[in-house]
């Protein structure tokens, strides 16, 4: 977990510049300066705004306040949309993992926390895409640092973070 802290340290202090909803209840947080990136789709190529880093929680997550849950992946569309839009501009105060099976916990300024929590069989479903194009995720109950798309070095297998 020390490696996780080292790899995510550059994200602390970055602003959430584009929080958005993916398919279903997937939550995406684009962090830091935004740039346009070409993306291939079935209909051709399009562009989208990407941050210096991206957090993706595919399902089962919640946004917490000090004493209650503000919204979560099972909230109504209105509450869901309002809660994630209010994250825009907030800075990341800390990023950590918690639990025997590592769930992502992001502290956001303004006394809010974003917490993943998988409720189905398998693995926790979150990924942190780092500025060097590598990423952190969970495989077989362990946080791994996958470097297959990393800009500097290409390693064939992910290793524990």
pLDDT tens by residue, 56-105: 999 899 999 999 999 999 999 899 899 999 999 999 999 999 999 999 99
153 — pLDDT class (breaks 50, 70, 90): very low
Give the 3-state secondary structure percentages of the chain, helix then strand then coil, rounded to 5: 10, 45, 40
- Does the predicted model carry a pTM greater than 0.85? yes
Structure tokens at 54: 């991206």
- pLDDT on residue 13: 98
Distance (Å, rounded) from C-alpha 85 to C-alpha 116? 18
Arithmetic mean of pLDDT, 118-125: 94
């Amino acid at each position: 977990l020390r490696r996780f802290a080292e790899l995510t340290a550059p994200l602390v202090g970055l602003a959430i510049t584009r929080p958005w909803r993916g398919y279903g209840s997937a939550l995406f947080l684009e962090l830091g300066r935004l740039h346009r990136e070409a993306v291939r789709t079935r209909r051709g190529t399009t562009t989208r705004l990407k941050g210096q880093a991206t957090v993706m929680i595919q399902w089962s997550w919640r946004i917490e306040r000090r004493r209650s849950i503000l919204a979560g992946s099972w909230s109504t569309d209105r509450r869901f949309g309002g809660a994630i839009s209010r994250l825009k501009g907030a800075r990341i105060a800390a990023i950590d993992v918690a639990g025997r099976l590592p769930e992502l916990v992001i502290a956001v300024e303004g006394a809010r926390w974003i917490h993943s929590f998988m409720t189905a069989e398998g693995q926790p479903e979150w990924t942190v895409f780092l500025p060097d194009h590598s990423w952190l995720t969970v495989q077989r109950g362990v946080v791994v640092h996958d470097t297959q798309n990393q800009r500097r070095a290409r390693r064939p297998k992910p290793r524990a973070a």
